[in-house]
Structure 1
Amino acid sequence: MSAAMMSVCVAKTVDVGGRTLEIPAPEGFVELTEDMSALYAATKKIVDSDNDTLAYYIPSEMADAAKAGEFVPAVKYFVLKAQGNTKFVTMGNSEFASLAAGVKSANQMVTDELKMVLGDSFDPAAVVELKGIAVLPPHRETETTLANSMLIRQTALGGKGEGQVMSATKTYANIGGKVMLLAAYGAEQDSEWTRTAVGAWTDAVLAGNPNPPVGDSSGGSLKEEADGVGFKSAVIGAIVGALVVFVFSSLKSRRKA
């Protein structure tokens, strides 16, 4: 049976700070695996020091060619990450709300910085051409999720060169008390697809795992129990701080170009 004909809903079991989560593949996509050697090797060159990258997913129709050793960059793809600072922390709904508020504040800082340069008009296409990244306001906010889209100049998965303008939607999701990052990437014109596709994937992941604690969490790791609220506050600050560094470094690098 070809990889393209295999079920795309096979769940991947991941361990995040001692907690087992079940992650189904996005519909119509398969996990990028070691036997897809050329494209898989290319992803190993992608460095994210703030998050643990757990899986990439490519269109199912690309799987057989990838296993045959063909190297074709994927324009549409998904990424699953665990937020590195939270692996050993259990996040309740109220703590996730604090994280979401911090992420929104960081995004607003970026928007304000851009308006100082460009004025009040905010044309995402123009911003990404000038700065390399345009972060849009959140379009999904729930007790367990925060999602926003962006335009960003980068290469397709496995691609080379300066890159192209691509759409992306990234969702912070509190999966069973663990902060996960689920993202979909596509071509510039695929912005709506990235929102819809990652939204459906997020819903499937949430449905297949236990709910996070209501209110403040309890019964977490030894480190969490020892340090309590202060440790969690520091973790939330670290996540938001990493986001600010990432976005502003993108802006500054574009400004120097």
Structure 2
Amino acid sequence: MRTFLRILIASCFAAAHFMAGAAPVQIGKKTIEIPTPQGYGRVPADMTELLSLLDSFTPPNNQSLALFLSEQDLAVAMTGEVPDMTRRFVVQVPKVAIDYNFTQADFEVLKAKARADLERTMANIKPRVDGLMDQASSELSGKLGSQVEVGLESLVPLPIHHETPNSLSMSVLSRYSVGIKDGESVTEVAAGTLNFIRVKNTMFMLLLYGSKDDLEWTREQSKSWIQAVTAANMAP
């Protein structure tokens, strides 16, 4: 049961080299090439159970575009089991940005607002995340046939640590708890790095997740992924 609960923890929040290939995503009318990290693979659309599980934790204002898991995790998923997924790469886009033509000036405004409002934004987002956790708990309970309770105990934003003309990166440490009603519960800390990126006048997000010891890993891999995505979408 403890292993199962740790898997759910990983689903909540949830050294690679680029490129091993490219996986296109569609954002509005634009096709964006997303390089695949070496040793990882994109979760195919027919793995509906796994994608649905992770979509339970996608904020309602965002659209999930692609999920990349390690080859080991993909092999487990192909057997019908839920893989560990502690380390994973995710592509999302704010729904309001799908058809918006993001100029360089627009992106500079976004970065300035992020720098100025980081702590306030994180403080305001926790109640919304709590609502998302309630929704995820309900959906997981229905899928598993048991009362699952998912909670966000704390959310600690870290200062912006990397910036380019077309990207901005920040990290978060989160403490989650997952439990079965009247049963065992597990609490763990997860690290994540959120990257806003602009290519082809389109803004979207690259997210990397890891364990509490993976903060630097998420940051270093974010830099590599940003460079790879930018290069893959440059005009010939």
Q: TM-score, normalised by structure 2?
A: 0.70
Q: 1:30-65, CA deviations, whole angstroms, 9 ceiling, x for partnerless residues?
A: 112244455334223234212111011111122222
Pick from 205, 210, 214 the counterpart of residue 186 of structure 1.
210
Matches within 5 A, 1:21-36: 21-36=32-47
Rounded Cα–Cα distance in structure 1 between residues aligned with 2:43 and 2:176: 20
Q: How many residues are matched?
A: 186
**1:194-227 Cα distance to aligned partner (Å, 9 max, x none):** 001121111101101137xxxxxxxxxxxxxxxx
Specify the code of the residue in structure 1 equivalent to 2:167.
Answer: T
Is the Cα contact below 8 Å between 2:189 and 2:212 reproduced in 1?
A: yes
Give the one of 120, 126, 131 matched to 1:109: 120
Residue in structure 1 matched with residue 146 of structure 2 by the alignment:
none
Percent of residue pairs bearing the same amino acid type: 26
Q: For the structure 1 residues 189 and 94, does the alpha-carbon distance in structure 2 shift closer, same or farther, using more than 3 Å as the test?
A: same
Q: Could you say which structure has the higher helix fraction?
A: 1
Q: Match of 1:60?
A: 71
Say whether residues 1:135 and 2:146 are aligned partners: no
Paired residue for 2:147? none
Is contact 1:54-1:81 (8 Å) kept?
yes
Where does 1:1-257 land on structure 2 (aligned, <5 Å)? Answer: 9-36=20-47, 38-109=49-120, 132-154=154-176, 163-210=187-234
1:9: how far off?
2.1
Counterpart CA distance in 2 for 1:59 and 1:155 is: 24
Q: CA RMSD in A?
A: 2.7
Q: Aligned partners of 1:199, 1:28: CA distance in 2, in Å? A: 17
Q: Determine which structure has more spread, i.e. the larger CA radius of gyration.
A: 1
- Measured after TM superposition, the shift of residue 74 of structure 1 is 0.9
Q: Contact between 2:162 and 2:168, CA under 8 Å: does it hold in 1?
A: yes
Q: CA deviation at 1:8?
A: 6.7
**Distance of aligned partners of 1:35 and 1:82 in 2 relative to their CA distance in 1, 3 Å threshold:** same
Q: Report the alpha carbon displacement of residue 154 of structure 1 after superposing the two structures with TM.
A: 3.5
Please give the alpha-carbon distance, in whole angstroms, between the structure 1 residues aligned to 2:31 and 2:122: 37
Residue 206 of structure 1 aligns with an amino acid whose one-letter code is T
Aligned partners of 1:33, 1:145: CA distance in 2, in Å? 27
TM-score by length of 1: 0.65
Alignment check: 8 A CA contact 2:168 2:195 kept: yes
Q: Distance in 1 between the 2:38 and 2:177 partners?
A: 23
Is the partner of 1:210 in helix, strand or coil? coil
CA contact (8 A) 1:148 1:169 kept: yes
Alignment partner of 1:132: what SS? Answer: strand
Amino acid at match of 1:63: L
Query: Counting strand residues as a fraction of each chain, which structure ranks higher?
Result: 2
CA contact (8 A) 1:171 1:182 kept: yes
Q: Which runs of 5 or more residues in structure 2 are unaligned?
A: 1-17, 125-151, 179-183
Paired amino acid for 1:145? S
